[in-house]
Structure 1
Amino acid sequence: MSEAAENPELMRKLIVERLVGATGDPRKVCDAARAVAMRALPNLIDVFRDKLSMPMAIDVASVDIVRLAEVKPERDSFDVLVVVPAYTSRDALTMRLDPQALSLLVSSFFGGDPDIPPPPIKRAPSKIERDVASMVFEAFAHAMNGEGVRALGLKYSAATVLSGETDFKRFVVRDGPGVKITFTLGAGETTGELTAFFPQRVLMETRVQAQPGAGSAEAKAWRSRFNEEVMRSKVELKATVPLMKVPLGELAQLQVGQVLELDENARSETRLSARDRTVFLCEFGKLGQHYTVRVRRPFDARQEVIDGLLAG
């Protein structure tokens, strides 16, 4: 949380992520997650072919929109879990291995008989099993991270493998809108699962940054005012024509029926606001029989304070 405290923009994103039930278009979120999973598959197959003694079938079973609260296992779970941070989020990726998948991987890693499928683990994982899980998690993190402008910026070196009642009791989940990718890992007829959870914000930010023109000054200014997570929310716009500035003493003496004279420049100082926040300075006009508001420039709160001090 110290990183967010030093970055007001990141703090705002995390707060909105907690409050908003969904981010962006669900179809686009699922498409982005599926693209990450399918991009990772070839690399994963190559890695496990070299490290394991028997063939391990890896496939993408499903991609689902979820709440990140689903990440937290029950205290008596025998799953193994890891939280991988990134440059933009301390919980950019959370992965869980179920007991059957971990048992298969350990057996295959140490040359187990492929004709005798190992049973799922029904106890807290040992140190060796945790080390194998860490190796698998690292392979999945590197494969899903990708390269270039769409890389997720994952930092697996800062991750710690969690397992057992004590770890899960202390494990705190920051809830919010997420997406879950379920991978199946199988040897013969026995299969287990590795599930990967991403905050939707982490996936969609890299997609927005990779779009043509996303790095322009106009795009950055727009995203600084309206984050991708609330782009689809409907807000009421209000165009306000400021009357004048008067001392509090004169304001206290206003009476019912009194006529206020508009400043001659009032119509050129129309302000467009949403949810009580001024976002643009505009010009008031008329087109035919309709009144219009023409957007002139974004509202600058700092400049507004300076102008007010100079006017005073």
Structure 2
Amino acid sequence: MAILVTGGAGYIGSHTCFELLQAGYQVIVIDNYSNSRPKSLQRVMELTGQRIQIYSIDLLDETGLETVFYENHIEAVIHFAGLKAVGESVAFPLSYYQTNIIGTISLCEMMKKYHVKNLVFSSSATVYGKPEQVPIKEDASLSAMNPYGRTKLMIEQILKDLYQSDASWSIALLRYFNPIGAHPSGKIGENPKGIPNNLMPYITQVAIGIRDELLIFGNDYPTRDGTGIRDYIHVVDLARGHVKALEKVLNTTGIEAYNLGTGEGYSVLELVAAFEAASGKRIPYKIVNRRPGDVAVSFADVSKAKRELDWVATKGIQEMCVDAWNWQTKNPKGYEVKR
């Protein structure tokens, strides 16, 4: 059974491709490598001993996209492709709206043309904006505080409207929280271009000496130590959640949203301490001003995913830190160094 994975060379995409191959699926990947590298998929194929059909195209390339659907019998799509940096989205909103929203519409049009109506969409906890209460349930009010979050929210609404127009579609909206960690082999992991936007790769780059110190944005939040609290989830658990969601959409119709997290919150300083314990490295840091739009506390209610997808995160914060450090030490410059 062939599954198309858009953005499959990225951090979450590559781990999901690994889990899909392990589960017996045939995998086809579309990626323009704007924020990823081909080597990630080479490593996935090395780890699994299986082949991935790869197309180096952009979702906005209609001719190239049609070639993918014409040449393959695709049963379902897992859609990761898109721009994802909050700060960058504020600086370049039009790029985000064009790439994320128009790209998704283009993909859905092609799926409709080729009668492929099973979709797992990579959404985000950013659609909850500033949560009214925690843990956050899927039926919480939705709002977004930056252009990136708004693209995710708009795409969710587009997909809901699509289902309303044609009830034969089957769509899972996966709202995930804060993915960290790496595959335990150390072969695939998070490889940001430039200065990391996410906390864990920034920590690991400080630990290995690429960066001098960690910047912590605010220590005056109403939390137990003043720093922001987030729900960190191991990327392998997250990837397995996508496989579970795929099983669901292949066997039902409808549209449902699912939180993918652990249901536990850790502060920035708690994550730093856990990483120091796992790595034996001291992480120097400096407190700077809060970032606009950051919320004090965000963690998931994951009971719906457990109930309807038979999925639950199994890896704790220690394992997330150990695997992140293993990846960084084996790949000090990410995929740029041959190992």
Structure 2 length normalisation: TM-score? 0.20
Comparing both structures, which one devotes a greater share of its residues to strand?
1
Structure 1 length normalisation: TM-score? 0.21
